[in-house]
Amino acid sequence: MSEPLGMLVIDKPPGCTSHDVVLKVRRCLNCRAGHTGTLDPQATGVLLVCIGKATRLTRFLQHRDKVYEGTVRLGWATDTYDADGAQIGEVVPAPELTLAQVEGAVERFVGEIDQVPPVYSAKKIRGQPAYKRARRGEQVVHEPTRVTIHWIQVLEVGQGRIRLRVRCGPGTYLRTLAHDLGTALGCPSHLEALRRLSVAEFDLQGAILWDELLEAPPQDILARAMEPAEMLPSWAFVTLNEQGAQVLRNGGVIEPRYVIERGVGAGGAVVTGSGKAQWAKLLDPKHRMLAAAEVLPGGILQPRVVLG
At residue 123 the predicted structure's pLDDT band, cuts being 50, 70 and 90, is low
pTM for the predicted model, two decimal places:
0.90
Sign of CA dihedral 280, 284, 289, 292: negative
- Which segments within 161-278 are labelled E, that is strand? 161-168, 189-199, 202-203, 208-209, 236-240, 259-263
Of 30-39, 120-129, 146-155, 215-224, the poorest mean pLDDT is in 120-129
Residues 6+ apart with CB under 8 A from 127: none
pLDDT over threshold 90, residue 172: yes
Are 194 and 165 a contacting pair, CB within 8 Å? Answer: no
- Reply yes or no on whether the pLDDT at 130 is more than 80: no
The string of pLDDT tens digits covering residues 87-119 is 999 999 999 999 999 999 999 999 999 998 886
Indicate if the pLDDT at residue 192 is higher than 90. yes
Is the pLDDT confidence value at 141 over 80? no
Longest dimension (CA), the chain: 72
Hey, is 169 helix, strand or coil? coil
Residues listed for the chain: 308
Topology agreement, domain 6-62+201-227 and domain 66-199: yes
For domain 6-62+201-227, give the CATH number. 3.30.2350.10
Instruction: Tell me the C-alpha distance between 116 and 114, whole Å.
Output: 7
Q: What is the CATH number of domain 232-306?
A: 2.30.130.10
CATH superfamily of 66-199: Pseudouridine synthase (3.30.2350.10)
Residues 223, 181: Cα–Cα separation, whole Å: 43
| CA atoms of 295 and 214, how far apart (whole Å) | 41
CB atoms within 10 A of CB 123: 17
Average pLDDT (37-41) is 90
**pLDDT for position 298:** 80
**From 38-52, 118-132, 134-148, the region with the lowest mean pLDDT:** 118-132
284 catalytic? Reply is no
Confidence of residue 152 (pLDDT cuts 50, 70, 90): very high
Give me the catalytic one of 11, 20, 40, 65.
40
Say how far apart CA 40 and CA 139 lie, in whole Å.
Answer: 22
What is the rounded average pLDDT of the residues 136-160?
A: 85
pLDDT of residue 235: 93
Q: Where are the domains of the chain?
A: 6-62+201-227, 66-199, 232-306
* Section 71-83 average pLDDT: 95
What mean pLDDT is predicted for residues 303-307?
A: 95
Q: Please answer whether residues 198 and 256 qualify as being in contact, where contact means their C-beta atoms are separated by less than 8 angstroms.
A: no
pLDDT of residue 117: 86
Q: What is the mean pLDDT of the chain?
A: 90
Please tell me which residue, 272 or 60, carries the higher pLDDT value: 60
Query: CA angle at residue 183 from 194 to 82, to 5 degrees?
Result: 30
